[in-house]
Amino acid sequence: MTYRILVVFFFCIVFVAQSQEDEKPPLPRWSDEDTALLLQGESLISDALFRPMSDDELGVPVFEGLLLPDQMADLTEMAEPTEIIDEDLVKYFDQKPKSYLIDPQKLLSRQEYRDQLSFLKYHASDSRVGFYVYVFDTKQMIPSQIIAEEIFQRCFADAGPTVLLFYFMGAPERSVIHLSADLMKAVGRAECARARQSAVNQAMVKSQEADQLDGYCMQMSIRIYWMEKALEAGVIAPPETEPQAKPEPIHQKYLSIISRWWSEWMLPCCITVVVLLVGGFSYHWRRKTRKCQLPSIPVVARLGGTHAAGVGAVISFANANRPIAAQREQLPEDWGIS
């Protein structure tokens, strides 16, 4: 039984293999023309195999959407990042802004603009001091012909006390604050500078540019509240006068010159004095302890004697420490005997 099953299985395999061979495509055959050319000895291989094919022959699709339009050539004429184009300058300063947040360059996203504008509107509802924020790019420069006093006269003549903030995104330290004349009279430039510095410090704590602007405006809103209180109280800031330098006395001038000279030459002078003192002491000590000794000169014997009878002299010096040339005067024999 097992043998029969194996035989049937073998015939099935042979039948399946034969059916697959029947399904294969037939082998290529030479055409009559190619056969005739081959018999004549001509080559059937052309140079088409070695010729580079074009994109049309390869069927490579052309993506027309990637082609740049002719308008892209105008990009070379774009303004520098530090400049503000004239069209935006007109939107900034040509007329009184319709919103408390002026951003014609769209530097803020739509959500950031709405959030900041809602805060400025809340400030306006709680204060009679107008607070307008002009937003510029980080490195942009406001042209010199833009003068704050002219902007107040042209756009905010009937607006009451007003604060204008020129804010540069990402650079709070470059911000500029301008106060209207009545508000400046009440607080003064010193208070304005302190308010600006306080707002800058609050903004520098944040890392995101939008958060920096929000922190700056919040701190400035607090400062504006106290400015408004000073204005309502009729406070007048003291005039800012630069302190006049008093003439320096003559003796003070010389003392300052001597002090500068001494601070520069103190060490060399001290070293020189020490060297002179040590040298003088050493010289005096050597002279005091020095002793002069006369050389022994041998005397030639005369007539076999060591010296002549009754002839000779003894020379003595009073001070052995003094040089011989300084002891020329003869002293009495009892000198120095007590």
Rounded to an integer, what distance in angstroms lies between the CA atom of residue 75 and that of residue 100? 32
Average confidence score pLDDT of the chain: 77
Residue 293 backbone phi and psi in degrees, to 5? -120, 130
E-assigned strands of the chain? 101-102, 130-136, 162-168, 176-179
Strand pairing report for 130-136 and 101-102: parallel
pTM, 2 dp: 0.50
Return left, alpha or beta for 97; rule: phi > 0 is left, psi -120 to 50 is alpha, else beta.
beta
| Closest listed residue to residue 163, CA positions, set 121, 186, 132, 185 | 132
Find the helix or strand (DSSP H, E) in which 168 lies.
strand 162-168
pLDDT at 60 over 70: no
pLDDT at 117: 94
| 18-27, 146-155, 171-180: the lowest-pLDDT one | 18-27
Cα separation of the two ends of the chain:
165
Query: Which residues does residue 166 pair with via DSSP β-bridges, in sequence order?
Result: 134, 176
pLDDT at 231 over 60: yes
Compute the average pLDDT of residues 23-50.
63
| 107-148 pLDDT tens trace | 999 999 999 999 999 999 999 999 999 999 999 999 988 898
Structural domains of the chain, ranges and CATH numbers in brackets: 86-232 (3.10.310.50)
The token pair at 334 is: 């009892």
Query: Which residues does residue 163 pair with via DSSP β-bridges, in sequence order?
Result: 131, 179
pLDDT tier for residue 168 given thresholds of 50, 70 and 90: very high
Rounded to an integer, what distance in angstroms lies between the CA atom of residue 318 and that of residue 324? 10
The token pair at 126 is: 């709680």
pLDDT tier for residue 333 given thresholds of 50, 70 and 90: low
Distances (CA, A) of 226 to 37, 131, 195, 338: 107, 14, 10, 102
More confident residue, 67 or 19: 19
pLDDT at 285: 86
pLDDT at 66: 46
| 88-107 pLDDT tens trace | 999 999 888 999 999 999 99
More confident residue, 10 or 129: 129
Amino acid in the structure at residue 7: V
Compute the average pLDDT of residues 294-322.
66
